[in-house]
Amino acid sequence: MVDFSENYFSIFGIPISCEIDLELLAKKYRKLLMEYHPDRQLDATKKLEAVTTTSLINKAYNTLKNLDSRACYLLQVSGLPANVEQASIDDHGFLEEQLNLRETIEKLKQNATLAKELPAIKAKIYTDIKRYYVDFSNHFNASTKDSIKKATQAAYKLKFICKLQDTLEKTL
Amino acid sequence: MGLLKISEPSNKQDSGRKRFVVGIDLGTTNSLIATVINGKPETIPISAKKDILPSVVHYNKDGKVMVGLEAYEHLISNPANTINSVKRCLGKSLDDINSTNTASRYQLSSSVNSSNNQHQIPCFKTDAGLITPVEVSAVILNKLKSCANHQYKEDIEGAVITVPAYFDDTQRKATKDAAAIAGIPLLRLINEPTAAAVAYGYNEIDNNNQTVAVYDLGGGTFDVSILKIEDGIFEVLATAGNNNFGGDDIDLLVASWIAKTANISMQNLNDQDYRLLIDTAKQAKESLNKVNSIDIKFKHWSGLLTLETFDQLIAVAIDETIKLFAKAITDAKTTITDIDNVILVGGSTRINQVKTKITNFCKQKPLDSLDPDRVVAIGAAMHADILAGNNNTDMLLLDIIPLSLGIETMGGIMEKIIERNSKIPATTSQYFTTYQDDQNAIIINVYQGDRELVKDNRSLATFTLRDIPAMAAGRAKIKVTFQLDADGVLSVTAIEESTKKQSYIEVKPSYGLTDEAVLNMINASIDYAEQDHNQRIIQQQIVESSYLINSINKLINTNKDSISKEDNKKINKLITDLQSACDSNSKDEIIRLKKDLETIGESIAKKQIKLAIEGSKLSDFEEQQ
């Protein structure tokens, strides 16, 4: 029997950790759905119950799959006094870089001839996400008061840049 | 080993009785019904030779309703009373429908008995009265149902109905309502592309780890979906499309070309000629799938349409679909080279240019071994079979929400609560509070779409939370839970956290029918024919009465001093009586009183004209007497 009340990691039977084997996660996710999805229940009351359970499985899977939401969730589930929503970034270099990226994307939207720059921007965002996640993991795993503060900031940066990635994808 | 694990025949499927379940493709142009017989999916015949039902419904004065081919014949002779492409109107507002380029010429009006003043449900004005798109769809479903009953001498125990992946909440809800009115027990709504993938998954695609693209160019809608098939799970990764582009629009492009070349103004054509032009264009389009040029005759004009010209006409539109294809691939976080198979759905995918452009874009030949007109119904039937437990195949369809769901916040900003392409079922909660002491209700406006401002998105419904316990402003903590079920239909619940008191929620769909209205329609459809017809006549009479009362009131107001006291009294009495007759639905009374009121109204109007000519007023006469 799966424990749905503990945390998102336990739903999939994996340990709480920064590193997740995404293929394994997907496999476990599919297995859970085969069992709990409303379409797999023939009984009407069980179907109704299954909507709630499956919603939770979907939410848990999505949270763990994406690096930014996983980072935020790790902070939350570890019971650490960190609030990512309110974390402010005092890294001015980061903010400036983000603003510049945003401006470039805006220009790309208006001028099709700049489209050749796109792959480079995409690649940069992609590596940035990886880099900030490593940064987050290191601080998170060190688990000191100061490092948790840094992990929170890294999580905030991740959210920031993942949102940028999302905007970029929607633009195209 | 195939992608689906078919269980040994010794399992439960042989021990128990199989449930009679069907798959229904409720299409814009054509509809089909299919079922699985002895493990094989088959479409069910509609008539001796055909298994395809044109999605056309004709209403005549005597209350007779015709469906399919029979109704199609009236498209040219009586377009105002013949509804085609009703799917384009399903779950939409009057403005939505009027702003799209439909090739239909029926009259639309907003419903008069709608309880919702903000947005009214569009109705078709027919000789049989006002009819909503949901009811028209129900007539089509009802016909399909009776064909299945006739063929297998069994009642349908469950149905899977397909909808375009791009259908929003209102459109899905409208489809569900139509099924309920037609008396069809719905197992599930599934997306058309997913159904197509199921059909191919069973027959053709022979691998357990596949990424599949489904390109579906139907009569009225276009969508493309990217699916991943793994461990028996069909997961929709992303979907993109255009709800207002389909084969009908290609017909319109060809029709415009004919009109332009023949120097005819399309606007000035009468209804019959207009329909004839559209039909001619459609036939020409279909011929060009096989030949390089086609002679076209329209009225006194004749000319040649070459494949080259046709390709030029549609090039921009087809390129648009390829752009959306690319968008779906990006949304799915995958690349073209990852696509293992491309599936074609919809009659318009027979167009050579469509096939060529897809082949060039995907760098592979798309699958087309299954009939693109039937593949969706076949897949739906197969899925129904599995859902009913007739077949132990470990297969599951996992759907996503095509457009983000959000609520209106300060300044008309859309706050997203469930993001586009999220997997469903999905649940999310938001906290709300009161801003006045003892405030007992909160209104939440829910929208669907991906623009920043709510005004650019589609209004779904207004939820009014009532029975909020009396508390100081800001103290109430109301947790509102939005839940999308496996069909992608939204429900909302709310609870005040400190008192654990559940709020009563009133739902006003923006463009859909209220649950109450649907219930009424279901009840009405039970004793269909005669009574339904009667009801329509009454409805019609009520509408006309309200117009009449309005115009009589105007007449009285503008001629206050020239109407005799006696007439005035008479009119007021007639109006009151007519209104109460309308309220009590007494047909004969309404007709009698309406006639009386019309007569007196006419005589007053005549008197006014006469007096105006003579330059004196009735009141002058009265004073003299």
Q: Does A70 reside within a domain? A: no
| pLDDT-derived band at B623, boundaries 50, 70, 90 | very low
Lowest average pLDDT, out of A25-29, B340-344, B398-402, goes to B398-402
B52-69: pLDDT as tens digits: 999 999 998 887 899 999
Gap from B322 CA to chain A (nearest CA, Å): 13
Q: Please indicate whether, in this complex, the C-beta atoms of B231 and A39 are within 8 angstroms of each other.
A: no
| Residue A17 domain boundaries | 8-65
Mutate to test the interface with B, among A28, A32, A33, A63 (most CBs of B within 10 A): A33
Question: What is the per-residue pLDDT for B622?
Answer: 42
Out of A65, A84, A110, a domain closes at: A65
Domain at B405-515, CATH class: mainly beta
| pLDDT-derived band at B216, boundaries 50, 70, 90 | very high
- Per the rule left: phi > 0, alpha: psi between -120 and 50, beta: everything else, B456 is alpha
pLDDT above 70 for B619: no
Out of A50, A65, A80, a domain closes at: A65
Pairing of strands B65-67, B82-84: unpaired
Pairing of strands B158-163, B186-191: parallel
A118 CB near a chain B CB, below 8 Å? no
Q: Domain residues of chain B, as ranges? A: 12-245+315-399, 405-515, 527-624
Nearest CA in chain A to B451: A170
Per CATH, domain B12-245+315-399 is 3.30.70.270: no
| pLDDT-derived band at B534, boundaries 50, 70, 90 | low
Give me the architecture of the B527-624 domain, per CATH: Up-down Bundle (1.20)
Out of A25, A50, A65, a domain closes at: A65
Active site residue B192: yes
A42 lies in the same domain as A112: no
Average pLDDT over residues A59-68: 93
Query: What is the end-to-end Cα distance of chain B in Å, rounded?
Result: 104
Gap from B528 CA to chain A (nearest CA, Å): 30
Phi, psi of B80 (to 5 degrees): -70, -30
Question: What is the per-residue pLDDT for B389?
Answer: 87
Gap from B235 CA to chain A (nearest CA, Å): 10
A34 lies in the same domain as A100: no
The amino acid sitting at B70 is E
Task: Please list every residue in chain A whose beta carbon sits closer than 8 Å to the beta carbon of residue B230.
Answer: 26, 30
Q: How many CB atoms lie within 10 A of CB A29?
A: 24
| pLDDT-derived band at A83, boundaries 50, 70, 90 | low
Q: Which tops the pLDDT comparison, B241 or A10?
A: A10
State the ipTM, two decimals.
Answer: 0.80
Average pLDDT over residues B349-362: 95
Q: Does A82 reside within a domain? A: no
B330 CB near a chain A CB, below 8 Å? yes
Q: Please indicate whether, in this complex, the C-beta atoms of B486 and A51 are within 8 angstroms of each other.
A: yes
| pLDDT-derived band at B501, boundaries 50, 70, 90 | confident
Active site residue B216: yes
Per the CB < 8 A criterion, the answer to whether A165 and A125 are in contact is yes
A59 lies in the same domain as A128: no
A121 lies in the same domain as A166: yes
CATH number at residue A51: 1.10.287.110
Q: Does A117 reside within a domain? A: yes
pLDDT above 60 for B378: yes
Beta bridge pairs of residue B508: B462
Q: Does A28 reside within a domain? A: yes
Choose the catalytic residue: B177, B192, B373, B385.
Answer: B192
The crossing angle, in degrees rounded to 10, of helices B529-558 and B515-526 is 130
A122 CB near a chain B CB, below 8 Å? no
Question: What is the per-residue pLDDT for B13?
Answer: 41
Which has the closest alpha carbon to B434: B472, B466, B464? Answer: B472
Q: Which tops the pLDDT comparison, A119 or B6?
A: A119
Q: Does A36 reside within a domain? A: yes
| pLDDT-derived band at A93, boundaries 50, 70, 90 | confident
Helix (H, G, I), strand (E, B) or coil at B337: helix
A103 lies in the same domain as A159: yes
pTM over 0.90: no
d(CA B146, CA B456): 42
A2-16: pLDDT as tens digits: 778 889 999 999 999
How many domains would you assign to chain A? Answer: 2
Nearest CA in chain A to B233: A30
If you average pLDDT over every residue of chain B, what do you get? 83
